[in-house]
Structure 1
């Protein structure tokens, strides 16, 4: 999982469930002191053992459901998923319909050329035949145009349905992971209540293991990541230099800060992803003396440490292949941190939208891309190229379990990012 995804999925599930109705507050009955009433209401060891057993079973069930949800999401994002197969078939039909329309349009051009080329000595029959050929070609071209429009609509509908299915699967996994986390909290509460009761009974206070619990990853809105110099229009075949400033607005030093930058784009259709034409590199005077590739969905280096109130800049260089088609894109900027004590967290994704212009375009004066909304919900899928950029790649593997547990299905970007650029297409068309 991408460590950055932790900030889009972290909730505060601190659901402390009572392990037995006997914990409920009651008023002392007549003739009893409050102390005596509390003692009478105190659950027995047997009741606590039963509660712990039920909590364990609920947790085991939640884990099983989470595994099933993970398997379902893996299938949903595979090429073998029914919606993926249907989307590909519809896209192939749209491509074939486009080719057929182009052929039909050419047939009209050829027929009209033949009509125009008739000599003055041509007979009425020859001229009528040529005119009939033009009319037939135009009729066929109109039919091909209608077929192409229908095929395009079918392809768009299938692509949207595939995205919806992927998002639903990702959301189901997020819900399952949240349920597992809540069940784990309930299990811990039940186990602790039982251990405390046994310790009290044995006058031995060595049963509380919760002090060693691993710290959790948390959202950190005080950690900000802001892009500077990223243009709102990028021409295919060009190289863009910009920077990301990471600011530690917390009141403590963060031992390792990891800026996250990911670019996603589609062509003008809105459903053909063209991310493969983007090549992103980073450079920092403190971390890397040379330009270093940013793996798809990975971190743009690291800053170690970043003191409270301080900021640091990471230089970035984006190369866009000249073959990239015109379209719409979005850059996702965020940041994570990991401390030496394994506490960790990060901020939410900020979107920077931009236009991709065809090679050779002359955009004129171009303003910087402006930060858009902050995504407090996950982009819903894994970017093509895999789930690189994990803490395992940064040398801080000890924090990975907490990050993975908190991240849920918010692994970064694919289908969710597609929605962003599709929304731009819809907004520009309206």
Structure 2
């Protein structure tokens, strides 16, 4: 398997997982929860997610186009409700004309009654009055007809307006769906691209393997670190295999939260390293690696001095240091330990110094049995840290075990249990 493919899983989780809570309990608690690592998506899963996001986006765009076309159709004068409104207006116009004519007939009938001479017969007078009564009745009917026609116009107009508003709302909702689908698609594409980039699928041909016998062990890290102080501890990297590793990259990452265990105070916690060949304190790089140990022979170990500094303004909280190691050989083979070792510590605020038992070191042993230092003794490291720094082509298998989660925005680690003399 390509190590870059392994890395993609962890890196992608960092991109797509919004928050992983650091659940480190206080160092003085009797029972501490074991670390839980969240299952991470593979490249194949990310590709499926990107494909699904693309399909959803395409469907959203199609739905928006359909909604927009429907609105355009309804705005046409030939739309059903538009035609109904036109017909209602025509009827209302005819009713208005009829009412006008009826009203005029009343006026004319009244004039005829008023114009009767004194010599008019009773029959003539009766006929004129009857014509007036009939004209008034016709005028009332015409007025009622006009009122009804005008009401129909208002109803038809309201119906068309309601239809157009509903159609416009659908277009707006469809646009919102397109925006949301585009955001999902962009996030999925970026997660996949990031995973592929970190996995080195482009231009990386080396095959990398899991190597659990490349162990990393921390000793001397206190249970409690007081804000405003520095503590020095040791990271031992051991090649428990029967082959020399040309370059071994130690990995270390420290994360911390305040007492709520939800808010990161990582910017107040600083991790540095030094070695026999590089005695000046250096900050761990932005990918959480130190300079390569070149070489590390079979059965040998190398010690790296670590220094943890916590700002004086840091609040009471909890921390965890993770360590691992990767190797890279000149023949192109590479790999690393798939397990990320975690070590808890309690952060005490500077004003609590007198209330705690400070500086109690914890010594731990590697989980892999049968690992012996070169020459059968633990005295002195073998191999040296190369001053040139870690190669960009060097694999970073430690990330695959969970460390990559810290690279993603907002992502934090889950702490592992650690007791004196052992760690999980």
The TM-score normalised by the length of structure 1 is 0.44
Task: Say which structure, 1 or 2, has more relative contact order (CA 8 Å, 6+ apart).
Answer: 2
* Bigger-Rg structure (1/2): 2
Considering fraction of residues, name the structure with more helix: 1
